[in-house]
Amino acid sequence: MDGRQDRVAGAMARLAAGDRDGAASLLRAALADAPDDPEILHGMACVARASGRPDLAIGLAGRAIASLPAAHFHITLGCALHEQGHLEPGRAALHVATLREPRDARAHAALAAVLGEMGRWSEAEASLRAALGLRPGDPALLLDWGRAAIMAGGAGIAGRLVASAGLFAAPDAGRLHALAVLLSERGQHGEAEGLYRLVRDLCPDQGAAWANHGAVLFALNRHDEALVALEQADRLAPDVAETLNNLGLVRMALGDLPRAGEALARSRRCAPEDVRIAVNDATILAELGDDAAAEELLRGVTADPVAGRGVEGARAEFNLGTLLLARGAMAEGWRHLEARGRLLPERRWPGVAAWDGSALPGGRLLLHAEQGVGDAIQFLRYLPECLRRVEVVLDLPPALHRLVRTMPDPDGLIASRCTLWPVGTPLPGDVAARCGLPSLPHLLGMAEVPAFAPYLLPSVGEGDGRLRVGVCWAGNPAFRFDRRRSIPPHVLAPLGDVGGLCFVSLQHGVAAGALPFVMEPAAAGDWLETARVVAGLDLVITVDTAMAHLAGAMGRPVWLLNRFGGDWRWSAAFDRGAPPCWGNGTSRWYPSLEQFRQAGPEVPERAWQAPVAALRAALAGWRQGGR
């Protein structure tokens, strides 16, 4: 190595150590002796880049390449062009570098950085795969690859990163967290969970790491694990409003209402101006029966000139609507319930205006289901009154189509003024407005529960003389708070001890595989097939699912096992005047329905014991002929 090479090597060593001035001094001295030496020019370009002068680096690297087109010169030129904002020239220079020296991981990584900034994430991911092939144990490259792969829409990214956990250390936690956030923002919570867990393992003493892992576990409905993570986060970093907010929601999902209330009250004390937390706190207060405090909080949010117009204002107004409905204040409740349109705007038919309740001369109303099957069944009772005002195109889940055709039609309104919209067909051209089924009471001005007559009437098969009892014990497990309304099969097991009955499963989905006792299997097919089974039953026992609405709408005897602080439609405000025959509640929505309500806000395992015991005793009495 000659003297000039020694000086270049020494200068680059100083630059690597952070001594830019020392490196520049050595290189200037060397340049005075050899002004066209490409290695010295390249060294000066590196110093210029390190000094924040990519414009100077471009010229110096260009002069070096003119003498010697080495791959590492092209890397420096490409990086300088990138830093100066010249993306396409930078990409071209770095592409040349990869062609000249395909075994240089730096060239592939630098090319990926430019491609990423250009939005060409698939190419960036490929370049980083090439770099990792050359340096498979480089954690920085692996993290760069992870970002590019996520941005390119790849799958299985978190799995590869988690499998390489041994390469990462605590300083990498920030970048891993950023990747987890990217995945969460794309709705890929399952993938994100692995990265949040890895961050937690790298930083076991940081409350934020546990809190973030707990939040994603909550999003995945893995409530027991979320509880452990969030309680640990609270121990490590007490009085963090977001941690306490999530902790409260998890406890609520698990049915531990008193402790959920404690956590949300603490959260609100930590962040009294956070309207999102205030709305959550109001929710748990209502569940605990403190309606006055809940209403005060919700009205405060809706009255706020800023918050009231935002998403949390809409959520507060919607929750206020359910609170008022539960109290029986139906006119105001229905009006506030319309705020759901601000929470989940209807985007399927952007050119169709929302209906205001008026007649539509020459046009028809698109009347559509919004939420679950139970809601659709409940609000179909308003269809005849709606048809007196407008003609309707009815959009329902396909599984309800045959069942709806069993609706009685004494005035011929359904036959003459209502059309079921066939699945997969274009929207009829004469549709002039749209409306969700739950908006009908408000828009029709119906502030009271309509008089009841059975409005779903499937044919009844011949029975075999035995007393037949249908049982449904679980709702949709995807519902965040399903654990409070569904009942573990073993809790219902005592009902099977009542002799002389033929039990029939009305349970569908995953829960159907775990029967609480011996019973006939559930009917296969759509809701009409289920309704035909219900029509042949002497009694339906169910938790708060669509089954209660189906049996109720058919006028069949139904006993509802209902959670404390449950859905507004089953509140005591809607009990009938006459006392129940068997349970501790009734329903003006469905006169054939009786409720067995939980008495207090205990955890589900304890809270269901008394209602199930009361129902078992009632079932035995009913079996003895008291029905």
Q: Is the pLDDT of residue 118 over 80?
A: yes
Residue 111 lies in a domain: no
Residue 592 lies in a domain: yes
Q: Is the pLDDT of residue 1 over 50?
A: no
Instruction: Determine the residue type at 354.
Output: A
- Which candidate, 256, 214, 254, places its Cα nearest to that of 236? 214
- Which candidate, 40, 36, 49, 37, places its Cα nearest to that of 75? 49
Q: Is the pLDDT of residue 29 over 60?
A: yes
Whether residues 481 and 579 fall in one domain: yes
Query: Phi, psi (5° rounding) for residue 539?
Result: -160, 145
Residue 223's pLDDT band, with cuts at 50, 70 and 90, is very high
Cβ(64)–Cβ(86) below 8 Å: no
CA–CA gap between residue 479 and residue 323 (Å, rounded): 20
Residue 190 lies in a domain: no
Worst-scoring range by mean pLDDT, 122-126, 164-168, 373-377, 482-486? Answer: 482-486
C-alpha dihedral over 399, 401, 404, 410, to 10 degrees? -170
**What pLDDT is recorded for position 3?**
67
Residue 461's pLDDT band, with cuts at 50, 70 and 90, is low
Worst-scoring range by mean pLDDT, 364-368, 409-413, 513-517? Answer: 513-517
**Full domain range(s) for residue 284:** 275-343
Whether residues 417 and 505 fall in one domain: no
CA–CA gap between residue 66 and residue 248 (Å, rounded): 66
Distance of CA 452 to the CA centre of its chain: 36
CA–CA gap between residue 161 and residue 183 (Å, rounded): 13
Residue 355 lies in a domain: no
Residue 531 lies in a domain: yes
Residue 219 lies in a domain: no
CA–CA gap between residue 188 and residue 260 (Å, rounded): 27
Provide, rounded to the nearest whole percent, the portion of the chain with pLDDT above 90: 88
Residues with Cβ < 8 Å from 2, sequence gap 6 or more? none
pLDDT, one tens digit per residue, over 186-205 is 999 999 999 999 999 999 99
Whether residues 338 and 375 fall in one domain: no
CATH of the domain at 302: 1.25.40
- Tally of domains in the chain: 3
**What pLDDT is recorded for position 2?**
59
Whether residues 487 and 434 fall in one domain: no
Whether residues 373 and 502 fall in one domain: no
Partnered with residue 595 across adjacent β-strands are: 560, 585
Residue 387 lies in a domain: yes
Cβ-based burial of 611 (10 A; exposed 0-12, middle 13-18, buried ≥19):
buried
- 140: three-class secondary structure by DSSP: helix
Whether residues 336 and 415 fall in one domain: no
Residue 493: count other Cβ atoms within 10 Å of its Cβ. 14
Domain final residue pick, 308, 343, 378: 343
Task: Tell me the helix, strand and coil percentages in the chain, rounded to 5.
Answer: 60, 5, 35
Whether residues 579 and 506 fall in one domain: yes
Q: CA distances (Å), 506 to each of 68, 468, 539, 553, in order?
A: 80, 12, 12, 16
Whether residues 488 and 599 fall in one domain: yes
**What pLDDT is recorded for position 480?**
84
Whether residues 507 and 587 fall in one domain: yes
Sheet-wide strand order for 539-542:
501-505, 467-472, 539-542, 558-562, 593-597
What value does the mean pLDDT take over residues 264-278?
97
Residue 333 lies in a domain: yes
**Mean pLDDT for the chain overall:** 94
CA–CA gap between residue 529 and residue 581 (Å, rounded): 30
What value does the mean pLDDT take over residues 298-315?
94
Domain final residue pick, 443, 477, 512: 443
**What pLDDT is recorded for position 4?**
72
pLDDT, one tens digit per residue, over 340-355 is 999 988 889 999 999 9
CA–CA gap between residue 123 and residue 579 (Å, rounded): 71
C-alpha dihedral over 4, 7, 13, 15, to 10 degrees? -100
Partnered with residue 541 across adjacent β-strands are: 471, 559
CA–CA gap between residue 127 and residue 561 (Å, rounded): 59
Place of tokens 């999102």: 276
pLDDT, one tens digit per residue, over 34-90 is 888 999 999 999 999 999 999 999 999 999 999 999 999 999 999 999 999 999 999
Report which secondary-structure segment, H or E, holds 92.
helix 87-100
- The per-residue DSSP string of 331-392 comes to HHHHHHHTTHHHHS---S-TTSPBP-S---TT-EEEEE--S-HHHHHHHGGGHHHHHTTS-E
Q: Is the pLDDT of residue 236 over 60?
A: yes
Query: Phi, psi (5° rounding) for residue 420?
Result: -75, 130
Within 13 Å and on the Cβ side, how many CA atoms surround 20?
10
CA–CA gap between residue 162 and residue 177 (Å, rounded): 12
CA–CA gap between residue 14 and residue 39 (Å, rounded): 16
Instruction: Give the tokens for residue 527.
Output: 């809701």
Which pTM was predicted?
0.88
**What pLDDT is recorded for position 627?**
53
Whether residues 425 and 499 fall in one domain: no
State the DSSP code for 427: P
C-alpha dihedral over 167, 172, 176, 178, to 10 degrees? -160
- 136: three-class secondary structure by DSSP: coil
Residue 471: count other Cβ atoms within 10 Å of its Cβ. 27
Residue 463's pLDDT band, with cuts at 50, 70 and 90, is low
Whether residues 486 and 617 fall in one domain: yes
Whether residues 487 and 612 fall in one domain: yes
CATH of the domain at 545: 3.40.50.2000
The widest CA-to-CA distance across the chain, in whole angstroms, is 114
